[in-house]
Structure 1
Amino acid sequence: MLKKFLFADLDDTLFQTFDKATALGSHRSGPDVLEPAAYYKDGSICSYTTGVQRAFLAFAQDGMTLIPTTARDHDGLRRVDLPFDSYAIINYGGVVLLPGGASHAPWLEGMRAAMHTALPGLLELAAHIDHYAQRTGFGGRARMIEDFATPFFLVVKDPDKRHERLAPVETDVVRPWIADGNRPYVVHRNGNNLAILPKALDKAHAVACVTELLRAEHGDIITFGMGDSRSDAPFMAACDYAIVPRATQLAGITVAAL
């Protein structure tokens, strides 16, 4: 029988914040049935699973091996209280973790070289975003996400969680800068998260790498991809089957749009 592997995004796919969890439907995911799933650095609860999500996890883990495929860094992954014991893909595909937790050295070396090339552009864009914030009073700032001694991408959030305030940052600052010279960067915005990534940083590339490692170990396999965001679609398309949670950005532009 072919072994089954599920490449799964984490935030807003397998768990979410309290407000988002209750919005999924109080008739079956009210506060009394939510359970903590991820934590902030200070130990307070960041995200929760609903009863439905826990049932799905039990279903998936009965026959599938789950492989986190996330934008979270290594520390953020360690603060997720779910049972993962195989490979993991973090930093939007910038780092592949082997079973046991060590980084896949050849992959990391290649990504470090690509990120070194992309870094001057990210720093330039960060300066533009921060200048926009100073000029307009926007409270957010461009933050460089670094892990394994490597800068990977920029993220911008509104400190008051006013998601609509990110729209002019994207349309008036980020996208014009990318278009000016057709720079090799992409934009992902979902809720209160605006991320700017080098094109070399791609979950789909990392999923392809891990899939080849798994095939070398097990022969023919079946792969599933699961995610909530438009940015997850490429890595899901690289799998044999795709799973889309309801009430997510990706569901809204795929299944719900039909």
Structure 2
Amino acid sequence: MKKFLFVDLDDTLFHSLAKCDPADVLQPIAFLKDGSANSYTNARQRAFLDLVGEGMTLIPTTARDRDALARVDYPFAHYRIIDFGGIILAPDGTPDRVWLARMGDDMATALPGLRQVRAVIEDYAQRAGFPARIRLVEDLGLPFYVNVKDADKDLARLDAIEREAVEPWLATAGQDFCLHRNGNNLAVLPKRLNKARAVDYLQARLRDEHGPIMTFGMGDSRSDARFMAACDYAIIPRGTQLSALALGAL
């Protein structure tokens, strides 16, 4: 029986330098467009990759777009789920056409709302004097979600944007959208855009191709829980947002 690991990347398999333990022996694994390293693995993460690489096929299940995934120094050779589940890349790197058409219809419906919430956030940030970076994230010609980061990584300012701008909009005009927040990363996504939908679709495709399969899901954040629950087993790294929510109370 073939085994597949649907795995988030950032803060799951590797970390930015600011989140790494300085006592660890680090190796760069992901890079910016200028070639400089911005994410690293520690010895435990490298040992984990060696372990699962022996008996499982890794399928990245990430918010990264195609360009950002290509800058991860790991030989992902099978299907890849990117853009929060918006795009599924086949083993040859081409987009899955059935999924692309489905998401094209969904994102066309969502685009007016994405533009509206971006304008709401921009207006609030300007009035509050916050140096927020606000952008509508697109890939392969499709709009997917609005991303907000504070230029100074001041989480209190991002908290205010979430509380005063995003949450009131979600409660009124934005009921078909949801919020993803993890540190200095705030995203407003259409509810039709989620990793779990893509994982469900791809699991069915893998069963058609291979017969019975076993699947594992691994992630660090609250938003990963849905796609992990769609798998046979779930793996949660220690010290993550999801670990605190799922295991901390125990």
Q: Given the two structures, how large is their TM-score scaled by the length of structure 1?
A: 0.95
Partner AA of 1:129 in structure 2:
I
Structure 2 residue aligned with 1:157, among 134, 140, 149?
149
Whole-angstrom CA distance in 2 between matches of 1:70 and 1:176:
28
Partner of 2:10: 11
Whole-angstrom CA distance in 1 between matches of 2:49 and 2:157:
35
Whole-angstrom CA distance in 1 between matches of 2:117 and 2:14:
31
Q: Given the two structures, how large is their TM-score scaled by the length of structure 2?
A: 0.98
Partner AA of 1:200 in structure 2:
R
Displacement after TM superposition at 1:82 (Å): 1.0
Q: Is the 8 A contact 2:28 2:37 kept in 1?
A: yes
Measured against aligned partners, the alpha-carbon deviations of 1:120-172 in whole angstroms (never above 9, x if no partner) come to 11101111111111101110032010001011000000111122321111111
Q: Is the 8 A contact 2:61 2:84 kept in 1?
A: yes
Q: Is the 8 A contact 2:133 2:151 kept in 1?
A: no
Q: Judge which range, 56-65 or 174-183, deviates more.
A: 174-183
- Unmatched 5+ stretches in structure 1: none
Partner of 1:205: 197
Partner of 1:171: 163
Displacement after TM superposition at 1:177 (Å): 0.5
Partner of 1:41: 33
Structure 1 consecutive aligned stretches of length 4 or more whose deviation exceeds 4 Å = none
- Unmatched 5+ stretches in structure 2: none
Measured against aligned partners, the alpha-carbon deviations of 1:228-254 in whole angstroms (never above 9, x if no partner) come to 000000000000000000010000111
Partner of 1:91: 83
Partner of 1:52: 44
Whole-angstrom CA distance in 2 between matches of 1:181 and 1:74:
31
Structure 2 residue aligned with 1:61, among 53, 63, 74?
53
Partner of 1:242: 234
Whole-angstrom CA distance in 2 between matches of 1:182 and 1:54:
41
1:129 to 2:121 alignment: yes
Pair 161,182 (structure 1): closer, same or farther in 2 beyond 3 Å: closer
Aligned-pair identity in percent equals: 56
SS of 2:119's equivalent in the other structure is helix
Q: Is the 8 A contact 1:130 1:141 kept in 2?
A: no
Whole-angstrom CA distance in 1 between matches of 2:179 and 2:189:
6
Whole-angstrom CA distance in 1 between matches of 2:174 and 2:153:
30
RMSD, matched Cα: 1.0
Displacement after TM superposition at 1:14 (Å): 0.3
